[in-house]
A and B are shown apart, each in its own frame.
Chain A
Amino acid sequence: MPVTDDEVAALRAYLQGNQALQQELYGRMTTPAARARYTTLLAAAFMEAVNRRFGGRDSAAEVIEYVADVRARVPEAGQKIDPSAAERLMRSILADDAHAPDIDARMRGRIFIFFLAAMVSDAQYDDDQLEALLTVARKAADDRLEH
């Protein structure tokens, strides 16, 4: 089953800082399948955001500095992020590496959530631009769920 409108709405609410709506919509994802679809959507949005942020260039120095900068903005939350894992994840996307780095699911999810919000905030998307990002992410997630 493809990503649903509610799942996209939950991610949109999160990226717009509407926590109450995001929590409400996320609370409705009660089945493992729905949670898996949401994670796939989140991962796809993260991939798209990474490629946009770094213009598709795999630069170790740029990725390291960005990861440090974002962690430093919210040090308490940043301490819970494994910076090496975040860097490896971003660089595997930029290098178009088919083999995803070995990072446990919990940390991976944390990285998606933490850095996706930062990248979207940094890009200062208006509603249309955010919608465009979500559309691309939804399509990528649907493709992945189909295969």
Chain B
Amino acid sequence: MEITSEYVAALRSCLTGEGDYTELSRRLQARDGGERSARIYGVLSVMTLHLAARRRFRGGHTDADVIRLVGRTRAMLAEGYEIDPLVAEATLRGALGDTAATVHLEGLEMGTALFPLLIVLLEQESITTDRMDDFLAEVLPLAEAWLAREQAASLSDGTR
């Protein structure tokens, strides 16, 4: 699976509000199929959260940091967009390397929390529209490596 520039453009659009995210997303689904495009976009988004969270807490983090950041995120959204605080905390812990935190979470649940968290993390790291391309350029190889690992694992399963 290749992460083409259109996927990066769709994610950029979603994060910056520039361009027509809905149209970009529709085109990718039509071209690559719903499941495949969702997988690629999902991995790209998760790796973006991973890198943003690592940057934000580059000196390490505590449980209190996670709770406060989720609180800040949910307060910013207030009643406009409900996210479960415990799901959001687990999603953030997962992005920071605690793989056990997300074991019981569904992809959809995490997806609901992912973008609001990402928006706050990017804002706190001052990654605004003009710095977004550089940031996403750093995310891309991480996401490609992740997908490559997944593909290798699935091939290896298939040959057993």
Where the two chains meet, the residues of A that have a C-beta atom closer than 8 Å to any C-beta of B are 60-62, 64-65, 67-69, 71-73, 75-76, 78-79, 82-84
In the complex, how many angstroms separate the beta carbon of B158 from the nearest chain A beta carbon? 40
Which of the residues A60, A62, A75, A84 comes within 8 Å of B64, measured between beta carbons? A75
Q: Which residues of B contact A69 (CB under 8 A)?
A: 68, 71
Where the two chains meet, the residues of B that have a C-beta atom closer than 8 Å to any C-beta of A are 62-65, 67-68, 70-72, 74-76, 78-79, 84-86
In the complex, how many angstroms separate the beta carbon of B81 from the nearest chain A beta carbon? 11
A-B contact pairs, 20 of them (CB 8 A): A60-B79, A61-B75, A65-B71, A67-B71, A68-B68, A68-B72, A68-B75, A68-B85, A72-B63, A72-B65, A72-B67, A72-B68, A72-B71, A73-B64, A75-B63, A75-B64, A75-B67, A82-B86, A83-B71, A83-B85
Q: Which residues of B contact A68 (CB under 8 A)?
A: 67-68, 70-72, 74-75, 85
CA distance A68 to B120 in the complex (A): 15
Q: Which residues of A contact B62 (CB under 8 A)?
A: 75
In the complex, how many angstroms separate the beta carbon of B151 from the nearest chain A beta carbon? 37
Do the beta carbons of A72 and B64 come within 8 Å of each other?
A: yes
CA distance A76 to B68 in the complex (A): 14
